[in-house]
């Protein structure tokens, strides 16, 4: 049955074709339902008229009443602004206009009283108001009505011109509510409403637009947030379940000889508890008969590679091939070397396939894959080219997820008739609550324990003025045999400027650390791949003391002897990037340092970022802080997911509610997986509506 909320917006009184077109274009509002969910983003309180003497900086907006006189037009040839004096029986305040000057000059009758509503600002120790709302005072609008909370709506210049400013929105929504309020169906069963003390769906929708009082507004917000998050979690959990039931996976029955030999004879250290737990989780997925889609989160240095390798060995034990995909050539090569080293004398062939693999080798690899002679293939995107054919691909590890596009990953699925199990590893921790939404339909494993004996990196922040001290410190460290990274920001928009910064910086460093005593490498994005590689290798082998670079070294590069990370213009980096960079040091036995250099002038946010870095080494805590500082829209890779288009919930602020609604949804689905019980009828109906016409996208690819 089509609901009244699917009705095209053109049917609404007061919305003609022109407005409808603009609403669709500007806000994607096409139906009654869309408009109903265009909520105010804040409210202004007109419940009380204040005296001018009461104006203070505690409240943002004030409603005042008085006479408006003493016009002044300021400017030489052209009027730049117009000011008036608002006067009541307690004092006066200046009102200012910078636009619409001709009109405002004639706006006021000095004999009449006006209601003035706006945001006071302080100028020369006095309050004034710029561009306040103005209304002639009448007996009706000056009557103290108890509560006048007025919603303020997002709008655009185009919509304003068409009569849909904030007030305009308010008007058409009022019309809409009058027409439809009786058809708004409840969607949460009474037992949930009672348990969590929520008002009804319709009441919430009315009060979010036209709050009767602050209490009801709060209740409306609470109810609508709950709804939004709860149904999202329901959806994610159901998708996960359906996906599991639908997609068959290779069954890896045994943990066999190869795994056991490695575990007992070649493992260079004891696994951490977290590593063991995660391997168990993966193991269980692999024998379940369902395809695994698992996200492995673990801070830099937490030992994800080893977990990946041991999981690969299980696949190999069961006669399958495995692939290990990294985002860059440098990283692929490094993983290749790491795996070979870890496997040591075990005689398990490992192949490396990247963009620069020579044609002859490439051919050999293709042959070996098809003859089932190559159980492990490490590489870059080159791995998913169509020409690469496996005889029996069973398991794929993808390192550093955010660098791969969805379409690229989808290609993996075509490499075998039954899709391989997929393990995605990411070292950019995301807050648990965000993971619950973004990856709510995936299985998530977390390594939350560092290998023993690591010395936490010490982080310090220095202003530019302390550079000499920092240089002295660098010399000291080099004398002790350590190596140092110096990293410059690279931001796309100003690439040339950044490159200049880097080159200037390099020249300064060479001046401070001259040959022949010191050797300095430099690596940046404009260099040829082989030159980059050459410089990286020199540094890795310990032939150079300092590596000056852009963020190309951000991910994964492993030089245990490098124990100092100097980050230039640190205030220009995002938190997660700073954390990634810091993860490049602290890999050896020595005390490591991360030095954040910044200019003296810091934005509030920039300062908070640096403070957070100095305060903690915990990637998850940093991710939380990042989410709070920047909001979820900027977290890497989340924007395109479309998962964050909430009407009212806020991922950064509603973490507790996200966790709670997930728990509630999971509990309900455990009790009643098909939502068949009578008490869950309303949920069943709502979920059907939500799934209608949706493709299931629960797989990672
Ligand atoms: P990640 O990929 O999670 O950043 P790695 O897998 O590169 O971390 O591991 C970081 C370092 O820690 C490597 O040198 C690795 O050999 C070592 N390592 C891994 N697991 C352990 C462990 N259980 N005990 C000691 N060292 C470990
Ligand atoms: Mg790694």
Interval between CA 575 and ligand 1 midpoint (Å)? 23
Pairwise pLDDT comparison (696 vs 166), residue with the higher score: 166
Given a cut of 70, is residue 39 above it in pLDDT?
yes
Average pLDDT over residues 372-377: 96
Looking at domain 458-616, which of 3.30.565.10, 3.40.50.720, 3.40.50.1950, 3.40.50.300 is its CATH number?
3.40.50.300
Which atom of ligand 1 is nearest to 300's Cα? 4
Quote the pLDDT of residue 239: 81
Residue nearest to atom 5 of ligand 1 (CA): 303
Residues near ion ligand 2 (CB < 5 Å) are: 556
| Nearest ligand to residue 275 Cα | 1
Distance between CA atoms of residues 74 and 486, nearest Å: 53
Judging by DSSP bridges, how do beta strands 443-447 and 293-298 pair with one another? parallel
Query: Which residue's alpha carbon is nearest to atom 19 within ligand 1?
Result: 303
Can you give the pLDDT at residue 230? 96
User: How far, in Å, CA of 156 to CA of 300, rounded?
Assistant: 43
User: Does the pLDDT value for residue 355 go beyond 60?
Assistant: yes
Ligand 2: distance of its center to the CA of 547 in Å?
20
For residue 298, which atom of ligand 1 is closest to its CA? 3
Rounded to the nearest whole angstrom, what is the distance from the C-alpha of residue 693 to the centroid of ligand 1? Answer: 45
Spacing, Cα 332 to ligand 2 middle (Å):
10
pLDDT of residue 635: 47
**Same fold for the pair 48-145 and 257-447:** no
Residues flanking ligand 1, CB < 6 Å: 269, 271-272, 275, 298, 300-306, 427, 451
Give the range with max mean pLDDT: 54-68, 312-326, 443-457, 584-598: 312-326
Distance 587 CA to ligand 1 centre (A): 8
Q: Rank 97-101, 458-462, 656-660 by mean pLDDT and report only the highest.
A: 458-462
Question: What pLDDT is stored for residue 636 in this prediction?
Answer: 45
Using the mean position of ligand 2's atoms as its centre, give its distance from the Cα of residue 300 in Å: 6
Is residue 634 predicted with pLDDT exceeding 60?
no
Question: Which of the following CATH numbers is that of domain 48-145: 3.40.630.10, 3.40.30.10, 2.40.50.140, 2.60.120.10?
Answer: 2.40.50.140
pTM over 0.75: no
pLDDT tier for residue 543 given thresholds of 50, 70 and 90: very high
- 623 backbone dihedrals φ, ψ, rounded to 5°: -60, -40
State residue 640's pLDDT score: 42
Substitution candidate for ligand 1 out of 273, 278, 300, 305 with most atoms within 8 A of CB: 305
Q: Inter-axis angle of helices 304-317 and 329-343, to 10 degrees?
A: 60
Q: In angstroms, what is the span from residue 608 Cα to ligand 2's centroid?
A: 28
Q: Distance (Å, rounded) from C-alpha 84 to C-alpha 404? A: 59
Q: Averaging pLDDT over each range in 3-12, 190-199, 391-400, 651-660, which range is the top one?
A: 190-199
Instruction: At 689, list the tokens.
Output: 């509506």
Q: How many Å lie between the centroid of ligand 1 and the Cα of residue 456?
A: 14
CATH (one of 3.40.190.10, 3.40.50.2300, 3.40.50.300, 3.40.190.170) for 257-447: 3.40.50.300
Ligand nearest to the CA of 341: 1
How much is the average pLDDT of 205-220? Answer: 92
* pLDDT at residue 701, rounded to an integer: 33
Which pLDDT band, with edges at 50, 70 and 90, does 533 fall under? confident
Residue having the nearest C-alpha atom to atom 15 of ligand 1: 303
Q: Which residue has the tokens 């051919």?
A: 363
- Burial 154-190, CB ≥16 within 10 A → b, else e: ebeeebeebbbbbebbbebbeebbeebeeebeebbbe
Domain locations in the chain as residue ranges? 48-145, 257-447, 458-616
Q: Could you tell me the pLDDT band of residue 625, with boundaries at 50, 70 and 90?
A: confident
Nearest ligand 1 atom to the CA of 275 is 23
Atom of ligand 1 nearest to the CA of 342: 16
**CA–CA dist 323, 420 (Å, integer):** 10
Q: How confident is the model at residue 699 (pLDDT cuts 50, 70, 90)?
A: very low
pLDDT in tens, 565-577: 999 999 988 888 8
DSSP string over 592-630 = -EEEEEE-S---HHHHHHHHHHHH---HHHHHHHHHHHH
Other beta carbons less than 10 A from residue 109's beta carbon: 12
Could you report the per-residue pLDDT of 398-441, keeping only the tens digit for each? 987 554 454 555 566 666 778 899 898 887 677 777 777 767 67
Q: Whose CA is nearest to atom 20 of ligand 1?
A: 303
Q: Which of 58-72, 506-520, 635-649 has the lowest mean pLDDT?
A: 635-649
**Å from CA of 699 to ligand 1 middle:** 28
Tell me which residue has its CA closest to atom 9 in ligand 1: 303
Percentages helix, strand, coil for the chain (3-state, rounded to 5) are 45, 20, 35
């Amino acid at each position: 049955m089509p609901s009244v909320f699917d009705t095209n917006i053109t049917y609404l009184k007061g919305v003609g074709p022109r407005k409808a077109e603009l609403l669709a274009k500007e806000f994607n509002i096409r139906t009654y339902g869309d408009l109903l969910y265009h909520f105010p983003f804040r409210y202004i309180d007109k419940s009380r008229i204040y005296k001018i003497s009461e104006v203070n900086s505690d409240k943002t907006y004030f409603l005042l009443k008085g006479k408006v006189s003493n016009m002044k037009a300021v400017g030489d040839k052209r009027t730049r602004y117009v000011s008036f004096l608002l006067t009541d029986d307690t004092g006066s305040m200046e009102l200012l206009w910078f636009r619409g000057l001709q009109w405002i000059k004639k706006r006021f009758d000095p004999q009449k009283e006006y209601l003035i509503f706006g945001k006071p600002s302080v100028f020369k120790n006095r309050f004034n108001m710029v561009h306040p709302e103005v209304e002639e005072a009448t007996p009706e609008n000056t009557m103290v009505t108890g509560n006048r909370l007025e919603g303020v709506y997002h709008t655009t210049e185009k919509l304003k011109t068409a009569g849909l400013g904030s007030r305009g929105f308010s008007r058409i929504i009022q019309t809409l509510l009058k027409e439809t309020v009786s058809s708004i169906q409840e969607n949460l069963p009474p037992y949930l409403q009672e348990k969590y003390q929520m008002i009804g769906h319709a009441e919430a929708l009315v009060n979010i637009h036209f709050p009767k009082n602050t209490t009801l507004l709060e209740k409306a917000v609470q109810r609508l947030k709950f709804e939004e998050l709860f149904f999202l979690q329901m959806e994610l959990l159901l998708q996960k379940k359906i996906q599991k039931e639908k997609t068959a996976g290779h069954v890896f029955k045994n943990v066999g000889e190869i795994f056991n030999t490695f575990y007992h004879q070649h493992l260079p250290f004891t696994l951490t508890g977290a590593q063991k737990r995660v391997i168990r989780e993966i193991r269980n997925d692999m024998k379940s008969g369902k395809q695994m889609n698992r996200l492995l989160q673990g801070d830099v240095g937490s030992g994800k590679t080893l977990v990946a390798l041991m999981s690969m060995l299980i696949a190999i034990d069961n006669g399958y091939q495995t692939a290990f995909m990294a985002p860059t050539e440098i990283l692929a090569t490094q993983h290749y070397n790491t795996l070979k080293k870890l496997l040591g004398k075990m005689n398990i062939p490992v192949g490396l396939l990247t963009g620069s693999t020579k044609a002859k080798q490439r051919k050999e690899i293709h042959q070996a894959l098809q003859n089932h002679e190559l159980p492990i293939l490490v590489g870059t995107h080159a791995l998913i080219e169509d020409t690469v054919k496996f005889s029996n691909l069973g398991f794929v590890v993808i390192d550093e997820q955010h660098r791969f596009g969805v379409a690229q990953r989808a290609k993996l699925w075509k490499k075998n008739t039954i899709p391989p199990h997929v393990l995605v590893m990411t070292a950019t921790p995301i807050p648990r609550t965000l993971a619950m939404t973004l990856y709510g339909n995936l299985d998530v494993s977390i390594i939350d324990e560092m290998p023993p004996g690591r010395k936490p990196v010490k982080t310090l922040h220095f202003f530019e003025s302390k550079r000499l001290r920092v240089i002295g410190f660098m010399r000291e460290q080099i004398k002790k045999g350590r190596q140092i990274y110096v990293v410059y920001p690279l931001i796309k928009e100003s690439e040339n400027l950044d490159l200049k910064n880097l080159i200037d910086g390099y020249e300064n460093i060479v001046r401070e650390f001259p040959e022949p005593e010191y050797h300095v490498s430099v690596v940046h994005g404009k260099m040829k791949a082989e030159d980059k590689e050459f410089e990286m290798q020199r540094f890795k082998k310990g032939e150079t003391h300092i590596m000056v670079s852009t963020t190309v070294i951000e991910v994964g590069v492993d030089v245990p002897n490098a124990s100092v990370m100097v980050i230039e213009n640190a205030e220009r980096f995002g938190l997660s990037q700073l954390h990634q960079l810091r993860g490049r040091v602290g890999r050896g036995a020595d005390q490591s340092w991360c030095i954040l250099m910044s200019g003296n002038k810091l934005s509030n946010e920039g300062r908070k970022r640096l403070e957070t870095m100095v305060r903690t080494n915990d990637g998850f805590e940093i991710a939380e802080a990042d989410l709070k500082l920047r909001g979820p829209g900027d977290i890497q890779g989340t924007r395109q997911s479309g998962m964050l288009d909430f009407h009212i919930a806020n991922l950064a602020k509603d973490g507790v509610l996200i966790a709670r609604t997930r728990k509630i949804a999971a509990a309900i689905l455990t009790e009643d997986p098909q939502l068949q019980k009578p008490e869950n009828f309303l949920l069943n109906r709502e979920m059907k509506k939500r799934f209608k016409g949706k493709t299931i996208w629960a797989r990672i690819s």
